[in-house]
Amino acid sequence: MLLDHFSLHDEATLIRKAVEWTLSNGFITKDIDPVNNYSTTTVGDLIKDFIENRLPSAINRNNISISKSTII
């Protein structure tokens, strides 16, 4: 909402898409699902990777669960 306030609508839309992607792919935090969840840092890293277009084509949930969203 702050980005929209400063007329950064494209940036706001990209962040909304990134959040929607994490939710639709089941990468959620403990406040949404107390049993099957990822840390806030991990979800934030996934959102950052989405925005930077750095998500791998195949998501390895084992790596993500240990906060390694990309493989070097």
Q: Provide the pLDDT for residue 68.
A: 55
CA-nearest of 15, 17, 22 to 64 is 22
Domain ranges, ordered by start, for the chain: 2-65
What count of other Cβ atoms lies within 10 Å of the Cβ of residue 45?
Answer: 19
CA dihedral 40, 53, 1, 29 (to 10 degrees): -20
Handedness of CA 70, 52, 49, 44 (dihedral sign): positive
Token readout for 61 is 């949930």
pLDDT digit string (tens) for 1-47? 999 999 999 999 999 999 999 999 999 999 999 999 999 999 999 99
Instruction: Note whether 17 and 52 are within 8 A (CB).
Output: no
